Amino acid sequence: MANLPQRALQYAPLRAHRKEIRLFRLKSRDSQPTRRSPRYSSDLKVFGELIHVSLGDPVSYTAVSYACGAGGDTKPIGVGLAVLYISANLEGALRQFEDEQHDLLLWADQVCINQQDEMEKTGQVQLMKAIFSEADHVIAWLGPAADRSDLVINLFRSIGSGVDEEEGWKVDALDRKSFSSIINNTFADVLPDIANNKSLEAISSAFDQFCKRSYWRRLWVIQECAVARKLDFMCGSSHLSSYKLRYALDAITRIIYFLEDL
């Protein structure tokens, strides 16, 4: 049977006086209707539905921080029985977030805000800080794996794992004793790589490309990440918690300062 044409998504209005937002219930892979129903086109890879909630309601959801991506490429997703076109980068993120068995409640502006309604967009932008601060989890989507991004993520994770999340660093500045401790403990797993010139060049190149990703050029990053209760960076299938990234960068910076003062 041929695939039937799909209608464009028609958003139900939000009640501004109740500080309503929409959440996207991302369907699990087990419940994906692909190849099961003639109502859906074969080019749809993501399916879900929108629900309305008010800020402050006891609802657990994840907010997605991301960059639209270059080139203006779009991909369709299924929302109920309708279709919505979103950036290819966000569509890729949603595909990566899919759980095998459980639906996920997400907030992502391109899906949850009617982009054709300027009044709604203005009102929702004013709620952005609350949306991200009330989310149980914020995922900063950096894009698909590329340019050896997994190497960078794994390096930061390894270094950041050497510091206790609650205690952090116990000293403000390194001396010879604390420097030796960091090298022997925090950097123990990565020493073979950074001591090898070829490996170090690969890490340097990968890190350079990692820092050039469009996500880091977004002004909204500061607010979205600063107010998050729990923040994870995600690049492809690789995860990195914010505290491990913070401590890894702190450790590297402290070592650089210590060596410069010798």
* CA-CA-CA-CA torsion sign (91, 92, 97, 102): positive
**Cβ contact 127:19 at 8 Å:** yes
The pLDDT of residue 71 is 65
Model's pTM, two decimal places? 0.86
The pLDDT of residue 35 is 47
Residue recorded with tokens 């340097």: 204
| 159 CB neighbour count, 10 Å cutoff | 24
Q: Which parts of the chain have pLDDT scores under 50? A: 1-2, 4-5, 35-36, 38, 171
State percent of the chain over pLDDT 70: 88
Question: Pseudo-torsion of CA 208, 241, 168, 222, nearest 10°?
Answer: 70
Which residues neighbour 59 within 8 Å (Cβ) at sequence distance 6 or greater? 23, 53, 105
* DSSP per residue, 46-57: -EEEEEEEETTS
Q: Where are the alpha helices (DSSP H) in the chain?
A: 88-97, 109-112, 118-126, 128-134, 149-160, 176-181, 191-194, 197-211, 220-226, 242-260
**CA 168 – CA 184 distance, rounded (Å):** 17
**Cβ contact 97:104 at 8 Å:** yes
What are 162's two structure tokens? 């050497």
Sequence letter at residue 253:
T
The pLDDT of residue 37 is 53
Nearest to 149 by CA among 192, 108, 202: 202
The pLDDT of residue 5 is 45
The pLDDT of residue 256 is 81
**Cβ contact 66:141 at 8 Å:** yes
The pLDDT of residue 153 is 94
* CA-CA-CA-CA torsion sign (195, 200, 204, 206): negative
